[in-house]
Every structure is written in structure tokens, then in C-alpha cells.
Amino acid sequence: MNHALREQARGRGEYHDPVGERALREAVSRYLAFNRAVLAPWQQIFVTQGAQQALDLLARVTVRHGDVIAVEDPGYPPPRMLFAATGAQVVPVPVDAQGIVVDALPPDARMVYVTPSHQFPLGMPMEMERRLALLAWAQRHGALIVEDDYDGEFRFEGRPMESLKSLDKADVVAYVGTFSKTIFPELRIGYVVPPAELTAALRQAKQAIDWHSCTMTQAALARFMHDGDFARHLRRMHKVYAARRNALLAHLHGGLAAWLRPLPSAAGIHLVALLRPGLAEDDLIARANAASVGLYGISGMYAGQATQAGLLFGYGGIEVSEIHLGLQRLAEVLEGWHL
């Protein structure tokens, strides 16, 4: 940041390219090719204020008032709220163990928002067959697929799945990424690799909304990536998160197994455990809270009535020692609760 500030101080003070600093776009282009098999020249990388602004821009340029946007259910609530605020009709579509149920998509959807690497919140990746079915569906219906690849960098088991974007022959996928999980959300830097036909409209929308994102943080991040520090950071954090995930799973498969059933989740920095029948989410959260253990339920991630009860355990910001402490205390709460 100091370096970026000094560089900036030498300039005259002027507006820059709405879709981002070239150095950062080049760094992201290399990163995506190497790590995510998304092949996009730097000119196709558009820098945004986090993934959330990428979603906002995409909705603005593809959807008119009353148009249908399909979202996963359960799913990440902020896009749902955002899409509704743009005047779109947001239609929740169920997910099963393979990912979004393509057969349940509303035929008139203009846009489908999905999290294929690590479904939010349940955690499973979208199966290959489902990916291909979704791509074929979007092509048939002239819809845009928005692939939110928010935390696929951290993978702990198995082979990485091909991104939708890398399978996309018909140019129907907008690939969205963010530095909120790999670095921190305060940075507010994300990006989108849109289909070619949307590039002009997106550039215009970004300029109309905020002219461009902060150039100093972009310059600092570009340098961080160019110097190899980002790659080192990812390797270091991978080890840290793996240790936290192992600690969490040891409790879920151990002392908590009578009450909680973790869902398979090979990537990302959170996982979900479903509650055994008879346990009410609200009740459990309130009892744990009284014992100073903060828990997040999954029912709020459903657009309507939740069909499953569970807890979401994020391990991006908690030390292993705190995981042990919190989950031991949770086990005591459950043991003392006469069901």
C-alpha cells in the first residue's frame, strides 16, 4: 500500500479505466489460467467492488424489471436481496446432492446464479453431469449463467472440478471471483469474466455507477500477486485452514456425532452439519448462545420454508484452540439437554 501511495502521489490525479488497472487485470488473468483453468486475456477481466458488485452489474445489463432470475435454494442471501432490489422476480430453485436441479429451473429465467465449486451453504460441488445439463439448458433458453467461484481456492480433498466457464463453449457464463475469502473482505476487490456480448454494456454500467474502483488497492494487490506473495499466502493459508477443518471434523465425527451430521465438503472455508431429527435449530442456537457459543443456522439461507435444519461452521476467522473450546462446550450443552 505504501508503494501504491507513493506511485499515486506522483500522478496528476485523474480518472482511470472503469474496468480496472491493467496490472491487476493481467495478474488475475494469469492466476485464473494457472489455478482455475479459466482462459481469459487480461482485456476480458473486469475489476469490481467485490463479487457483489459484479452481480449487480450483471443484473443491470441483462435483466429488465419483472424478468426472472433463478437462484439456488438454500443459497447465499445477499444476491437474492440484490436481485430483488433491481426489480427482478427472484425464483428459488432447489439443490440436491448434485447441485441445482436443472429440471426445476423456470423456463423464462434470464439469469441463473450458482455456486458450483462449493455450493453455498451446503458445500457440495456441482456434479459434472449437472454442469453440462445447466450449460445446455442456458444455451437452449438464451439465459446467462452466473458462476460465483467465491472460495474454490482452498481444496482439501479430491481433484478440482472444471469450472462452468472452462466448459462453456457457447459463451453463456459470467465467471465471478473475489479476494474476500483469499485475502479479506475489507479489500472490496472482485472481478468478472463476462461473455463477450456483455463487455461493452458492463463497462458502461461500471463507469456510470462509480467511475472505477479504488486504484491504490488495485495497484497494491497487483504487486502482491506479481511478486509471488499471493501464491505464498494461499499456500500458507491452505495449511492453516486444513488444520482448522480437521479439528472441526474431529469433533463433528467424534463427540458431536450423536447430534450433528457433517455434509461432504471438499473445498472452501466453511462446512455445514445437519441436525439429527428432533433437534430444533433455533432452540439449539439459543441454548448454545446462553453458554457463550455463537452458532449460525442454515434456515435463514432458504428463500422460503427451510427443508433441513443445520449449522454452518466457518473456519476462516477462528483459531484451532477456539474450535476445541467452542465445540467441547457445545457437546456439554447437548449432553445436558434432555430431548
Ligand X SMILES: Cc1ncc(COP(=O)(O)O)c(C=O)c1O
Shortest separation between residue 214's beta carbon and ligand X, angstroms: 15
Cβ proximity to ligand X, 257 vs 306, nearer residue: 306
Q: How far is CA 80 from the centre of its chain?
A: 13
What length does the chain have? 339
- For the stretch 131-152, what's the b/e string if a residue is b when 16 or more beta carbons lie within 10 angstroms of its beta carbon? bebbbebbeeeebbbbbbbbbb
Cβ proximity to ligand X, 165 vs 334, nearer residue: 165
Shortest separation between residue 86's beta carbon and ligand X, angstroms: 16
Shortest separation between residue 271's beta carbon and ligand X, angstroms: 13
CA-CA distance, 83 to 277, in Å (whole number)?
Answer: 34
Cβ proximity to ligand X, 125 vs 256, nearer residue: 125
Binding site for ligand X (CB under 6 A): 50-52, 76, 115, 120, 148, 150, 178, 180, 185, 190
What is the rounded radius of gyration, in angstroms, for the C-alpha atoms of the chain? Answer: 21
Shortest separation between residue 13's beta carbon and ligand X, angstroms: 28
Shortest separation between residue 18's beta carbon and ligand X, angstroms: 18
Cβ proximity to ligand X, 185 vs 255, nearer residue: 185
Place of cell 500477486: 225
CA-CA distance, 98 to 101, in Å (whole number)?
Answer: 8
CA-CA distance, 49 to 75, in Å (whole number)?
Answer: 21
Question: Which is nearest to 54 in space by CA: 169, 210, 192?
Answer: 192
Question: Which is nearest to 269 in space by CA: 288, 249, 241, 297?
Answer: 241
Shortest separation between residue 294's beta carbon and ligand X, angstroms: 17
Shortest separation between residue 181's beta carbon and ligand X, angstroms: 7
Helix 215-226 × helix 22-36 angle, to 10°:
50
Cβ proximity to ligand X, 50 vs 326, nearer residue: 50
Cβ proximity to ligand X, 52 vs 62, nearer residue: 52
- For the stretch 57-80, what's the b/e string if a residue is b when 16 or more beta carbons lie within 10 angstroms of its beta carbon? bbbbbbbeeebbbbbbbbbbeebb
CB closest to ligand X, residue no: 50
Classify 258 as helix, strand or coil: coil
Cβ proximity to ligand X, 18 vs 121, nearer residue: 121
